[in-house]
Amino acid sequence: MLFVPEAGVGTNNQRPGRLVVTKHDRWKDALEDFASHQATEYHKNCVTAANNLTNVSQNKIQPIDVVLDSRMQQQIKENRNSVIPIIETVILCGRQGLPLRGDTDYGCVQSLELPVNNDGNFRAFFRYRAYWVVITVLPITC
C-alpha cells in the first residue's frame, strides 16, 4: 500500500478493491480479479509512481524538485545577465555626471534609429550599446 492514495480513496473516487485493502483468498477467480484490478485508474497511477521512484533511485531521471530548481536557477541567471547592460549604462551616466532624463523618456526602445525628440542620455547610451551588439553579432552584408 505504498502508493495508495490518502484516506483509502483512489483516483476518480474509485475505492481500492480487495487486492489492496484485504488479502486475496479466492484463487479460483484470481485471473479475473487480477485483470479487473489491473484495469483500475489507481492501479495504473500506482504503477507509474513506482516506476518513477525506481527511475529516480537509479538516477535515470532527476527528481522534479531538482528539475524545477535548475530551471529556476537558469532563469535567474538569464535575468541577471539581461539587467547588466542597463546597470552599466546608469553607472556610465553617473560617472560622467549626466542626467538620465530627456524630453520623452518613456516606453520601450523599439528601434536603433535616432528619435525625433531628445529621449535622454540613458536611452541614447542604451540604444548605442544595442547598436554595437547588433553590429558585432550580426554579419555585415553589402
Whether residue 69 lies inside any domain: the answer is no
The answer on 127 and 98 residing in a single domain is yes
Q: What is the pLDDT of residues 54-108, one digit of tens each?
A: 988 888 888 888 778 888 888 888 888 888 888 888 898 889 898 887 766 666 6
Q: Which helix (H) or strand (E) is 37 found in, with range?
A: helix 30-38
For residue 103, give its domain range.
78-137
Is residue 62 included in any domain, yes or no? no
Residue 5 confidence (pLDDT): 61
120 lies in a domain?
yes
- How confident is the model at residue 6, as a pLDDT? 59
pLDDT score recorded for residue 108: 63
For residue 23, being part of any structural domain is answered with yes
Q: Which of 16-20, 32-36, 41-45 has the lowest mean pLDDT?
A: 16-20
Q: Where are the beta strands (DSSP E) in 22-72?
A: none
Using CA atoms, how far apart are residues 62 and 22, in angstroms rounded to an integer?
35
Domain total in the chain: 2
Residue 50 and residue 98 in one domain: no
pLDDT at 142 > cutoff 50: no
Q: Which pLDDT score, from 0 to 100, does residue 8 have?
A: 46
